[in-house]
C-alpha cells in the first residue's frame, strides 16, 4: 500500500521503486517506506552457466501446509499423491510429445485431458505410458495432426491394439468425439518422406485426387488409411515419372506388401483406372462403385444361386425323365404281349439294377449295434453323395438307363434318414432338470460318454506320452517343491508374495555420488555409465544436475522405505535424460546408452535419447567427446543386439526429422 | 416396414458361452490322462475338453469352475454342459451341477444393403465408435440391454449379448439406424 501524501512536505508525488523496495517523495526526498515487500522473480546462476529462478513451485491444489524445505529443487516431496501424479504425467507428456513434434498448445491440451482422466480415476490399473499415449493421440485426432497410433506404439514399443483399446475407452469415458481419420491428412507427411524434391506438392495433389476417387468408390471404409495412402502415392509417383518401388513405399507407410498389392488390384477394378493420366486430371467419373468386400460376397452368393438353380434344373429334368419313363412303362405294358421278346430282357435288367441299388443301402440299418450303425450310415451317406455328384456331372442326360440308379437312391436316402433320425433325437431333447445341483441324467447317453473315457491300457500309454512331453515343466515343479520343503525344514519358508513391488533396502550413502552408484547397482541399470561424469554433474549445485542429486539426497536422508515407487522408477529416466541432454546423445549415439539397460529402462532411455536433434547448443558439444569414451566399452554382443533395437529407433527419427508439419520442436523444458 | 423386414432377416447364433460349477475340487492331471479329447495346459492351470456331439469346448479349472463355449444354441449349451458333468462324474469326481449360467451369446446377421460407416458413426456419437486403424467395423454399444453390435461396411453385423433375447432386441434397435445410413447399390 503506497502512501499518497508525503508526511514532511505534503506532496502527493511519491515514487515507488519496486526494485529497491523504497517509497520516496519526489519533492523533499524523504524516504517514506523502506523494505517494501516485493513480488519479483530472482534468478540465480548455476553450474554450466544455466540460470534458474529462485523459489519453489506450489501447486494450487497442493497441501495446505507450506513446504518446509527451503531449497528450490525438492519438488517431489511434501506434495500429495495427486499432485505428484499430475506432475509426473506432465513430464511424460512433454517428453513423448516433443518426440512427435507437437506444439505447446497440443501438449497443454493433452495435459488437460490427462487431468480429466486422473480426476475420473481412470488411471487405476493402467500403465501410465498407455494413458499418456492415449491422451496424446486424442489431441492428435482432435487437432488433425498427421500422427498415427502406429507412431505412438513405435515410440513406446507397445502393441498398437493395446494402445487403441486404452484410447477408445478413455475417449468414451471423457466423451471426446474424435473426428474420423481422413487418409488425406497423411499424404503430405508420407509424400515428404518419399522425397519427391520439387514436385512433392504436385505428387501430393495427384495422390489426393486419387484418394478422393477411392473414397467415392468405397475402397476406404473399414480399411487402414495408411494402406490407401500408400497405394495412392505409389500411383501418383508413377504418374509423375518417379520410380518408387513398392518396398520404399511400404517402408514409409508401414503396411505390408500384400495389403498394398490388394489395394492396387481393387483400384484396378474400378472404372477410373482405365482413364489416362490427362483424362483423370480433367474428368471425374460420376459412377460410384460398391465396396470390394461387398462385391466379393455378392460374387459368392451369385455362385451359390447358380448352383441352386442348377440343382433345381436337374430335379426338373429328373422329373421330366421320370415322367417319360412312366409313359414308356405304360406303353410297354400295353405293348408287352407284342414286344415281350425284345423288352423283357430290358425290363429284367432294370429290375435287377433296382434291386441291386436298394439292397446294400437298406441292408445295414436293421442291425442293432450302435457303432456299426453309425459306420454304416456314414458309409451310405458317402455312397449317396458320390451318386449325387455323378448325377450332377451328367446334367440333363435323358437316358432312362442312367436314371434308375438315381431314383432308388433318393428313395432309400429318405428311408435311411428316417431310420437314422429316431436314434439321434433323444439325446438332443434336453429337459431342464432341477437346479439343486443334482445332475439330471435325462437325455444323456451313458454309452456315448463311456467312449470319452480311456481304458486302463490307454491311460498308461497316455501317461507315458504326457510325462515325456512335459518333462521340463515337471522338473521345474519338482525343484520348486524341494526348495519349499527345504525351506520349511529350515524354518525360513515364506509364502511367495504375489505382489510384484519389492521393497528395497534403503540406500545409505555419505555422498550423493555414492548414493547414485549404489542405486544403480541395485537397479542393475548399466555398467556403461561413466561414473566420473556423474560425479562431476553432482558437484554443480542446481541446474541440470538438480533432478539427479535430489533422489539420492532424499534417499539418504529419509531412509526411503515407505517411498512410492513412481519417483524411483523415474530416476534412471531423469538420469538418462540429463545425460542425453548434456551429451546430446541423439541419433548416432543411441547404442552405448541403450546397451545393457533392461527392457523397461531401455525403452525409457530410448524415448529420452531419441528426442529430436534440435539445435545443439555449444556447451553440449563439449561433453559428447567425454561421452565418446564410455561407448567403446560396449561389448560386441550387446551392440549386435541393439543394432536391431536401434533400427526401429532410427526409422522413427527419420519419420520425425522433418520440421515442416508446422509444429515446433520442443526444447528441454525440464530444466527450470 | 421394419417388422416386415425383420422376418426376412435371419439372425444366426454362432456361439453361446456358459459357465457352471461342479462344487468339488477336480484333479486336472487325472482328467488329462484319462480323458479322450483333452488338452492340458499346466502353465495356465486348466484342461480343455472337447465334445463331439454338441460341438463344444470346455475349459476346466481345478477349482471346479467350467466354461463351456462353441454351442450354437442355449439348449445345446445346456446339454453339452450336463454331458460334460456326466463325463467328469464317470471319471470319479463327486460332481454336482450347479450355477449354470449363459454368459455370452454371439450372433451374426446380414443386411441386404451396404452401410456408410462414417455417416453411421457421426449420427450416433458417442454410442458408436469407429477406428479404421484398429478394426474395420464400427462398434455400437447399447448400454440398457448390455449388447454390442459391430457393423461392417458390407452390411453384415455381429451382435454379442448376455442372452438370445437381448441379441434380438439389439438387432431390432439397430436396424432403423442402419437403414438410414445405407448405401444404395449400383451394380
Q: Which of A217-231, A521-535, A618-632, B74-88 is least confident? A: A618-632
C-alpha dihedral, B173 to B174 to B176 to B177, nearest 10°: 130
Q: Is B53 on the interface with A (CB under 8 A)?
A: yes
Confidence (pLDDT) at A413: 43
Interval A288-299 mean pLDDT? 74
Between CA B159 and CA B174 the distance in angstroms is 10
Q: Is B34 on the interface with A (CB under 8 A)?
A: yes
Kindly report the backbone phi and psi dihedral angles of residue A68, in degrees, each rounded to the nearest multiple of 5, phi listed first: -80, -30
> Please, are residues A310 and A392 in contact by the beta-carbon 8 Å criterion?
yes
Mention every residue, 6+ apart, whose C-beta is less than 8 A from residue A297: B154, B156
Are A470 and B53 within 8 A, CB to CB?
no
Confidence (pLDDT) at A100: 87
Q: What 3-state DSSP class applies to A140? A: helix
- A547-587 pLDDT, tens digit per residue, is 444 444 444 444 444 444 444 444 444 444 444 444 444 44
Q: Which of residues 146-165 of B touch A (CB under 8 A)?
A: 152-156
Between CA A133 and CA A168 the distance in angstroms is 12
pLDDT band for position A519 (cuts 50, 70, 90): confident
Confidence (pLDDT) at B147: 92
- CA distances for A380 relative to A183, A390, A407, angstroms: 57, 15, 15
Separation in Å, CA of A219 to nearest CA in chain B: 10
Confidence (pLDDT) at B2: 43
DSSP state of B92: T
DSSP one-letter string for A543-558: GGGSTTTHHHHHHHHH
Separation in Å, CA of B57 to nearest CA in chain A: 14
Between CA B58 and CA B60 the distance in angstroms is 6
Confidence (pLDDT) at A223: 83
Checking if the pLDDT of A599 tops 50, the result is no
Q: Determine the residue among A439, A441, A471 to mutate to test chain B binding: the one whose Cβ has the most chain B Cβ atoms within 10 Å.
A: A439
Are B153 and A224 within 8 A, CB to CB?
no
Q: Which residue has the higher pLDDT, A128 or A375?
A: A128
Confidence (pLDDT) at A389: 65
Mention every residue, 6+ apart, whose C-beta is less than 8 A from residue A35: A21
Q: Hey, how many other C-beta atoms are within 10 angstroms of the C-beta on B181?
A: 20
Separation in Å, CA of B28 to nearest CA in chain A: 13
3-state secondary structure A489-540: HHCCCCCCCCCCCCCCCCCCCCCHHHHHHHHHHHHCCCCCCCHHHHHHHHHC
Going B17 to B22 to B28 to B33, the CA torsion angle's sign is negative
Confidence (pLDDT) at A393: 55
Are B37 and A449 within 8 A, CB to CB?
no
Checking if the pLDDT of B157 tops 50, the result is yes
Checking if the pLDDT of A129 tops 50, the result is yes
Confidence (pLDDT) at A538: 63
Between CA A609 and CA A98 the distance in angstroms is 12
Confidence (pLDDT) at A402: 39
Are A160 and B133 within 8 A, CB to CB?
yes
Checking if the pLDDT of A398 tops 70, the result is no
At A21, list the grid cell: 523496495
- Which ipTM did the prediction report? 0.77
- A50-96 pLDDT, tens digit per residue, is 888 887 766 665 555 555 555 444 454 556 788 888 888 999 999 98
Checking if the pLDDT of A201 tops 80, the result is yes
Q: Is B96 on the interface with A (CB under 8 A)?
A: yes
Confidence (pLDDT) at A426: 40
As a whole number of Å, the end-to-end CA separation of chain B is: 24
Query: For a pLDDT cut of 90, what percent of chain A falls above it?
Result: 7
Confidence (pLDDT) at A527: 67
DSSP one-letter string for B14-57: EEEEEEEE-SS---HHHHHHHBSSEEEETTTTEEEEEETTTTEE
Interval A119-123 mean pLDDT? 88
DSSP one-letter string for A395-443: TT---TTTHHHHHHHHHHHHHHHHHHHHHHHHHH------SSSPPP-TT
pLDDT band for position B150 (cuts 50, 70, 90): very high
Q: Which of A176-180, A260-264, A528-532, B3-7 is least confident? A: B3-7
pLDDT band for position A503 (cuts 50, 70, 90): low
Q: Which residue has the higher pLDDT, A205 or A280?
A: A205
Are B86 and A438 within 8 A, CB to CB?
no
Between CA A217 and CA A290 the distance in angstroms is 6
Mean pLDDT over the full length of chain B? 86
Are B153 and A160 within 8 A, CB to CB?
no
* Residues in B touching A226 (Cβ below 8 Å): 133
Q: Is A444 on the interface with B (CB under 8 A)?
A: yes
Nearest to B107 by CA among B178, B10, B181: B10
| pTM of the predicted model as reported, rounded to 2 decimal places | 0.51
Between CA B115 and CA B136 the distance in angstroms is 12
Checking if the pLDDT of B93 tops 60, the result is yes
Interval A31-43 mean pLDDT? 81
* Residues in B touching A451 (Cβ below 8 Å): 36
**In this structure, which long-range contacts are made by residues B117-125, counting pairs with CB atoms below 8 Å and at least 24 apart in sequence?**
B117/A221, B117/A222, B117/B151, B117/B153, B117/B181, B118/A180, B118/A221, B119/B181, B120/B151, B120/B177, B120/B178, B120/B181, B121/A180, B122/A180, B123/B177, B123/B180, B123/B181, B124/B177, B125/A177
Interval B141-154 mean pLDDT? 90
Q: Which residue has the higher pLDDT, A597 or B11?
A: B11
Are A180 and B53 within 8 A, CB to CB?
no
DSSP state of A72: T
Are B153 and A171 within 8 A, CB to CB?
no
Checking if the pLDDT of A287 tops 80, the result is no
Q: Is A446 on the interface with B (CB under 8 A)?
A: yes
Q: Hey, how many other C-beta atoms are within 10 angstroms of the C-beta on A484?
A: 14
Mean pLDDT over the full length of chain A? 69
Kindly report the backbone phi and psi dihedral angles of residue B158, in degrees, each rounded to the nearest multiple of 5, phi listed first: -120, 140
- A420-450 pLDDT, tens digit per residue, is 444 443 433 333 444 455 666 666 666 666 6
- A86-108 pLDDT, tens digit per residue, is 888 999 999 988 888 888 999 99
Checking if the pLDDT of A222 tops 70, the result is yes
Between CA A482 and CA A487 the distance in angstroms is 9
Burial of A622 (0-12, 13-18, 19+ CB in 10 A): exposed
Checking if the pLDDT of A39 tops 90, the result is no
Q: Is A451 on the interface with B (CB under 8 A)?
A: yes
Checking if the pLDDT of B7 tops 60, the result is no
Q: Is A17 on the interface with B (CB under 8 A)?
A: no
* Residues in A touching B87 (Cβ below 8 Å): 449, 452-453
Checking if the pLDDT of B30 tops 60, the result is yes
* Residues in B touching A466 (Cβ below 8 Å): 32-33, 40
Q: What 3-state DSSP class applies to A67? A: coil
- A624-665 pLDDT, tens digit per residue, is 444 444 444 444 444 444 444 444 455 555 555 554 444 444
Q: Which of A222, A290, A452 sits opposite B36 (nearest CB)?
A: A452
> Please, are residues A133 and A166 in contact by the beta-carbon 8 Å criterion?
yes
Checking if the pLDDT of A161 tops 60, the result is yes
Give all strands of the β-sheet with A14-17 in edge-to-edge order. Answer: A14-17, A22-25, A31-33
Q: Hey, how many other C-beta atoms are within 10 angstroms of the C-beta on A316?
A: 11
Separation in Å, CA of B85 to nearest CA in chain A: 8
> Please, are residues A150 and B133 in contact by the beta-carbon 8 Å criterion?
yes
The H or E element that residue B174 is part of is helix B164-180
Q: Is A255 on the interface with B (CB under 8 A)?
A: no
Confidence (pLDDT) at B102: 92
> Please, are residues A204 and A235 in contact by the beta-carbon 8 Å criterion?
no
- B116-125 pLDDT, tens digit per residue, is 888 888 888 7
Confidence (pLDDT) at A437: 57
At A46, list the grid cell: 548455476
Going B164 to B165 to B167 to B171, the CA torsion angle's sign is positive
DSSP state of B176: H
Q: Which of B90, B155, B185 sits opposite A453 (nearest CB)?
A: B90
> Please, are residues B38 and B45 in contact by the beta-carbon 8 Å criterion?
no
Please list the residues that pair with A366 across neighbouring strands.
Answer: none
Separation in Å, CA of B169 to nearest CA in chain A: 23
- A316-366 pLDDT, tens digit per residue, is 888 888 888 999 998 888 876 655 555 555 555 544 444 444 444 444 444
Are A435 and B187 within 8 A, CB to CB?
no
Between CA A416 and CA A412 the distance in angstroms is 6
* Residues in A touching B114 (Cβ below 8 Å): 218, 290-291, 294
- A446-467 pLDDT, tens digit per residue, is 666 666 677 777 778 888 888 8
Q: Which of residues 119-178 of A touch B (CB under 8 A)?
A: 148-150, 160-161, 164, 167-168, 171-172, 175, 177
Kindly report the backbone phi and psi dihedral angles of residue B7, in degrees, each rounded to the nearest multiple of 5, phi listed first: -65, -30
Q: How far is CA A307 from the centre of its chain?
A: 43
Q: Which of A300-304, A367-371, A645-649 has the highest mean pLDDT?
A: A300-304
Confidence (pLDDT) at A593: 44
Q: Is A453 on the interface with B (CB under 8 A)?
A: yes
Between CA A590 and CA A652 the distance in angstroms is 13
Nearest to A84 by CA among A538, A570, A440, A476: A570
Q: Is A223 on the interface with B (CB under 8 A)?
A: yes
> Number of CB pairs < 8 Å for A and B?
145
Do the bridges between strand B65-71 and strand B46-51 make them parallel or antiparallel, or are there none, so unpaired? unpaired
Interval A153-172 mean pLDDT? 89
Amino acid at each position: 500500500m503506497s502512501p499518497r501524501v508525503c508526511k514532511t512536505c505534503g506532496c502527493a508525488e511519491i515514487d515507488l521503486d519496486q526494485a529497491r523496495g523504497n517509497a520516496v517523495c519526489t519533492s523533499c526526498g524523504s524516504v517514506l517506506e523502506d523494505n517494501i515487500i516485493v513480488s519479483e522473480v530472482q534468478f540465480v546462476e548455476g553450474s554450466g552457466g544455466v540460470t534458474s529462478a529462485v523459489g519453489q513451485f506450489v501447486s494450487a491444489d497442493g497441501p495446505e501446509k507450506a513446504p518446509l524445505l527451503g531449497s528450490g529443487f525438492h519438488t517431489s516431496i511434501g506434495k500429495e499423491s495427486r499432485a505428484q501424479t499430475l506432475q509426473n504425467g506432465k513430464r511424460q507428456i512433454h517428453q513423448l510429445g516433443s518426440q512427435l513434434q507437437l506444439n505447446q498448445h497440443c501438449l497443454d491440451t493433452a495435459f488437460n485431458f490427462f487431468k480429466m482422466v486422473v480426476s475420473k480415476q481412470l488411471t487405476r490399473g493402467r500403465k501410465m505410458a498407455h494413458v499418456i499415449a492415449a491422451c496424446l493421440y486424442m489431441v492428435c485426432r482432435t487437432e488433425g495432426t498427421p500422427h498415427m497410433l502406429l507412431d505412438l506404439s513405435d515410440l513406446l514399443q507397445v502393441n498398437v491394439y493395446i494402445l487403441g483399446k486404452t484410447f477408445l475407452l478413455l475417449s468414451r469415458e471423457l466423451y471426446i468425439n474424435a473426428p474420423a481419420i481422413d487418409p488425406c491428412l497423411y499424404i503430405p507427411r508420407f509424400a515428404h518422406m518419399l522425397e519427391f524434391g520439387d514436385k512433392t506438392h504436385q505428387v501430393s495433389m495427384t495422390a489426393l485426387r486419387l484418394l478422393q476417387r477411392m473414397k467415392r468408390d468405397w475402397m476406404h471404409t473399414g480399411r487402414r488409411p495408411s494402406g490407401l495412402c500408400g497405394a495412392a502415392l505409389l500411383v501418383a509417383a508413377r504418374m509423375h515419372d518417379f520410380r518408387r518401388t513398392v518396398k520404399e513405399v511400404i517402408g514409409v507407410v508401414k503396411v505390408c506388401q500384400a495389403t498394398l498389392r490388394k489395394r492396387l488390384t481393387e483400384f484396378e477394378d474400378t472404372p477410373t483406372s482405365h482413364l489416362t493420366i490427362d483424362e483423370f486430371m480433367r474428368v471425374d467419373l460420376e459412377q460410384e462403385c460398391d465396396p470390394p468386400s461387398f462385391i466379393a460376397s455378392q460374387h459368392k452368393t451369385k455362385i451359390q444361386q447358380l448352383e441352386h438353380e442348377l440343382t433345381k434344373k436337374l430335379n426338373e429334368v429328373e422329373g421330366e425323365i421320370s415322367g417319360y419313363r412312366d409313359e414308356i412303362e405304360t406303353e410297354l405294358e400295353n405293348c408287352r404281349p407284342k414286344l415281350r421278346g425284345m423288352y423283357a430282357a430290358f425290363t429284367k435288367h432294370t429290375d435287377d439294377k433296382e434291386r441291386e441299388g436298394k439292397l446294400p443301402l437298406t441292408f445295414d440299418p436293421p442291425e442293432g449295434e450302435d457303432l456299426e450303425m453309425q459306420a454304416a450310415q456314414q458309409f451310405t451317406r458317402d455312397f449317396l453323395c458320390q451318386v449325387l455328384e455323378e448325377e450332377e456331372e451328367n446334367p440333363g442326360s435323358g437316358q432312362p438307363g442312367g436314371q434308375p440308379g438315381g431314383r432308388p437312391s433318393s428313395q432309400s436316402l429318405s428311408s435311411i434318414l428316417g431310420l437314422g433320425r429316431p436314434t439321434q433325437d433323444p439325446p438332443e431333447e434336453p429337459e431342464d432338470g432341477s437346479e439343486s445341483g443334482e445332475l439330471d441324467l435325462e437325455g444323456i447317453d451313458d454309452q456315448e460318454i463311456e467312449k470319452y473315457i480311456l481304458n486302463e491300457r490307454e491311460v498308461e500309454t497316455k501317461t507315458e506320452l504326457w510325462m515325456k512331453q512335459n518333462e521340463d515343466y515337471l522338473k521345474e515343479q519338482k525343484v520348486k517343491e524341494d526348495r519349499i520343503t527345504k525351506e520349511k525344514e529350515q524354518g525360513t519358508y515364506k509364502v511367495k508374495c504375489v505382489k510384484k513391488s519389492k521393497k528395497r533396502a534403503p540406500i545409505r550413502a555419505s555422498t550423493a555420488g555414492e548414493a547414485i552408484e549404489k542405486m544403480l547397482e541395485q537397479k542393475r541399470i548399466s555398467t556403461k555409465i561413466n561414473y566420473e561424469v556423474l560425479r562431476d554433474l553432482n558437484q554443480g549445485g542446481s541446474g541440470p544436475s538438480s533432478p539427479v542429486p535430489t533422489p539420492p539426497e532424499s534417499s539418504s536422508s529419509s531412509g526411503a522405505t515407505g517411498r512410492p515407487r513412481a519417483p524411483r522408477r523415474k530416476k534412471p529416466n531423469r538420469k538418462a535424460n540429463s545425460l542425453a541432454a548434456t551429451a546430446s546423445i541423439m541419433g548416432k549415439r543411441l547404442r552405448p546408452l541403450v546397451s545393457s539397460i533392461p527392457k523397461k529402462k531401455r525403452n525409457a532411455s530410448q524415448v529420452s535419447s531419441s528426442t529430436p536433434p534440435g539445435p545443439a547448443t555449444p556447451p553440449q558439444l563439449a561433453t559428447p567427446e567425454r561421452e565418446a569414451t564410455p561407448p567403446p566399452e560396449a561389448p560386441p554382443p550387446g551392440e549386435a543386439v541393439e543394432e536391431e533395437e536401434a533400427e526401429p529407433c532410427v526409422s522413427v527419427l527419420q519419420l520425425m526429422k522433418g520440421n515442416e508439419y508446422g509444429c515446433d520442436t520442443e526444447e528441454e523444458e525440464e530444466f527450470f | 416396414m421394419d417388422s416386415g423386414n425383420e422376418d426376412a432377416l435371419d439372425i444366426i447364433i454362432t456361439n453361446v458361452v456358459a459357465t457352471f460349477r461342479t462344487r468339488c475340487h477336480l484333479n486336472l492331471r487325472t482328467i488329462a490322462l484319462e480323458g479322450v479329447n483333452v488338452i492340458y495346459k499346466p502353465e495356465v492351470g486348466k484342461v480343455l475338453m472337447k465334445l463331439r456331439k454338441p460341438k463344444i469346448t470346455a475349459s476346466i479349472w481345478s477349482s471346479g469352475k467350467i466354461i463351456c463355449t462353441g454351442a450354437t444354441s442355449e439348449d445345446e449349451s445346456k446339454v453339452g454342459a450336463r454331458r460334460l458333468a456326466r463325463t467328469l462324474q464317470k471319471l470319479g469326481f463327486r460332481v454336482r451341477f450347479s450355477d449354470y449360467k449363459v454368459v455370452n451369446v454371439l450372433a451374426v446377421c446380414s443386411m441386404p444393403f451396404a452401410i456408410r460407416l462414417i455417416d453411421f458413426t457421426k449420427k450416433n456419437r458417442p454410442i458408436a465408435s469407429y477406428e479404421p486403424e484398429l478394426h474395420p467395423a464400427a462398434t455400437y454399444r447399447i448400454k440398457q440391454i448390455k449388447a454390442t453390435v459391430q457393423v461392417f461396411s458390407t452390411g453384415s453385423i455381429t451382435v454379442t449379448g448376455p442372452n438370445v433375447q437381448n441379441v434380438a432386441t439389439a438387432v431390432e434397435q439397430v436396424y432403423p439406424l442402419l437403414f438410414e445410413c445405407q448405401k444404395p447399390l449400383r451394380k
